[in-house]
Structure 1
């Protein structure tokens, strides 16, 4: 049975045409930013921040605003139908590692769990995806995603057809060395409205394959795997938190996120030293966790 709880990458969106600017902003936060490329559909481009645990950040933006494409044109239809076309900038989505196989379908496994557990969750069958790196190398993968109204609340799966080392350039080792001393992901925290908490929790059980560890009636977490094990401190696995809003800032975030479809409120980075408890990207909250 394929593993369905390996954290692969986290997506950070900024306005169209801002990849270079965003790369500089993340460098100022203490991250080493690597060049990415333009995706196969030509609509988006990215840069990468790769960590020693194998997880990476995808700093992405659309190549052009929607207004660049004539109304009703094929390009405009593709742009408007993109799953991230209406998202507000910030942490918009996250991916678990797929297996790159149609014959042993991740979507089928999750959907079967949904039927057995009564979550009614249905993932789309695997679709082709890819990107051309700036050095001309063509990358291919398979994507399986949850319903559009769950993107950003539930992970999509990205399974490599070409080598993952091409998509995630962890070598040389300097690619994963950061001025912030970040070694990997400590947690991803998802906020949901209280009325959705139980349903989303059930759906995540169908995805991850195990029940969460409860902390309070409205807060729980799953321990996730990462591509490279043993990098983080002992007993310090990457965690996926599901919580409801308890502060004014969180309530305000949900009011916006509910319209955009994204519930990722905060990403924590495991560091060897830190100057502050929390910080911000241009559009999202981050925390520094010793370990």
Structure 2
């Protein structure tokens, strides 16, 4: 089955419940234009967006309430506790690739990935697509379908393998690249440079194999015994400096080792980097978000 599963859609940044406005202000301080998002269909989370010229975006998300807000044993409490990000640490917690929005058997993203995994002997399993959506502040209703790795085992750890988001309503409603001013940032950020995952050396090869099953191709740049990278597609034309990369690395210093330890010895998103037009725009080349690392690079 020939389905593209390597188009980067967005990266998710989590902050404490009810803090979407606060984290939006922080990202504005870092030189980003932040757009209001809305509340998701389940009512559990709300978001804001940083949209880039090549169609990728950062999702700034928080739960609307802590789990304790919902009475024990109620359906709302159970939904909150079962949420994909219910137990995720703060910061860069997840990333999504663009799905095709299909619920037709045999044409779903999950079908394509599971077929590849079966052929290659990878243990990756993706669940069938399920519906999702949110309401924008202007009242427009957005709908999509999500497929995520099966929970249980390392392949289900959040932030290790991407989930997929496929639009049912037009993607332009979800990712507002128009008017052009939506994608213009004081930092001169143009697009995504890379998403960098860190993994302990003992899990490097198995994680590389799992990602290959998901993306449908092996790593195609920066291949060593401790690093592998995949060149990704974008929803719109890439910026002139080229396409973004997904990088899988083994920690190279104590700070990076501490990060992996904080993930329980598993993989996680360590850094997200952005291509900028001008490194002299008055913003730092490296910065810390609430619980996450970003980097600005000029290529």
The answer on whether the counterparts of 1:10 and 1:94 sit within 8 Å (CA) in structure 2 is yes
Secondary structure of the corresponding residue to residue 5 of structure 2: coil
Match status 1:107 vs 2:110: yes
**Alpha carbons of 1:243 and 1:156: their partners in 2 closer, same or farther (altered >3 Å)?**
same
Instruction: Output aligned runs, 1:188-207, within 5 Å.
Output: 188-207=195-214
Secondary structure of the corresponding residue to residue 72 of structure 1: coil
Stretch of structure 1 that moved more, 71-80 or 106-115:
71-80
Q: Deviations over 1:135-155 (max 9, x none)?
A: 111100000001333321111
Secondary structure of the corresponding residue to residue 202 of structure 1: helix
For structure 1, the 5+ residue unaligned runs are none
The answer on whether the counterparts of 1:43 and 1:64 sit within 8 Å (CA) in structure 2 is yes
Secondary structure of the corresponding residue to residue 45 of structure 1: strand
Secondary structure of the corresponding residue to residue 164 of structure 2: strand
Stretch of structure 1 that moved more, 272-281 or 33-42:
272-281
Stretch of structure 1 that moved more, 273-282 or 262-271:
273-282
TM-score (norm 2): 0.94
Match of 1:91 in 2: 92
Deviation at 1:278, TM superposition (A): 1.3
Match status 1:269 vs 2:274: yes
Deviation at 1:177, TM superposition (A): 0.1
**Cα distance in 2, alignment partners of residues 222 and 262 from structure 1:** 16
**Cα distance in 2, alignment partners of residues 278 and 216 from structure 1:** 25
TM-score (norm 1): 0.96
Secondary structure of the corresponding residue to residue 87 of structure 2: coil
How many residue pairs get matched? Answer: 288
Match of 1:229 in 2: 237
Secondary structure of the corresponding residue to residue 215 of structure 1: coil
Instruction: Output aligned runs, 1:59-208, within 5 Å.
Output: 59-103=60-104, 104-148=107-151, 149-208=156-215
Q: Deviations over 1:65-84 (max 9, x none)?
A: 11111111111110100010
**Cα distance in 1, alignment partners of residues 267 and 92 from structure 2:** 8
For structure 2, the 5+ residue unaligned runs are none
Q: State the Cα RMSD in Å.
A: 1.2
**Cα distance in 2, alignment partners of residues 138 and 225 from structure 1:** 27
Deviation at 1:262, TM superposition (A): 6.0
